[in-house]
Amino acid sequence: MTFPIKAYLGRHRSGVVLISGEDVDQMINEMLTTDWDDSVAALYLHDRPLNPAGVPDHEMLVAVNHEDKVGSLQYFGPDHDHAATSLGAGLSDDELSYQYMGNERVFPARSEIPLPVIVSAVKEFMATGVRPTCVEWQPYLADA
């Protein structure tokens, strides 16, 4: 089974639906060639109903550093109690700054992971509809 994903990024401000692994590859490739102001995509399962407040009950943020060919993930959803970010092997304690439609999105230190893992994680999210297991996760702290 495949869960179509609605992705909001760059020129797709009203969202584009991803239905295949090739669509995921195309999205990441587009992110690698776009301005830093659009280095984050927000992903939602397209067919999942909204919660009673009228908003999605889940979100996966995909951040891409086109210069270093790495990225970060952030996830929250009903399948886990707390939001989480990817855990990478970075050595710096500095927060990472990306941009979502021109607005800063801060990710914790050591959240960057190799780009192929980012791609695999998005494809796994599409295949399962839950937080990917191919990524090591760390708790997301709002004050991080």
Per the domain annotation, does 86 fall within a domain?
Answer: yes
pLDDT one-digit tens code per residue, 15-33: 899 999 999 999 999 999 9
The mean pLDDT value for 39-64 works out to: 94
**Helix, strand, or coil here: 89?**
coil
The H or E element spanning position 65 is: strand 59-65
pLDDT one-digit tens code per residue, 124-140: 999 999 999 999 999 98
pLDDT at 14: 80
Per the domain annotation, does 19 fall within a domain?
Answer: yes
User: How many domains would you assign to the chain?
Assistant: 1
Per the domain annotation, does 144 fall within a domain?
Answer: no
pLDDT one-digit tens code per residue, 61-106: 999 999 999 999 999 999 998 999 999 987 778 899 999 988 899 9
Q: Which domain holds residue 135?
A: 5-139
Which pTM does this prediction carry?
0.92
87-104 core/surface letters (b: 16 or more CB in 10 A; e: else): bbebeeeeebebebeeee
Per the domain annotation, does 57 fall within a domain?
Answer: yes
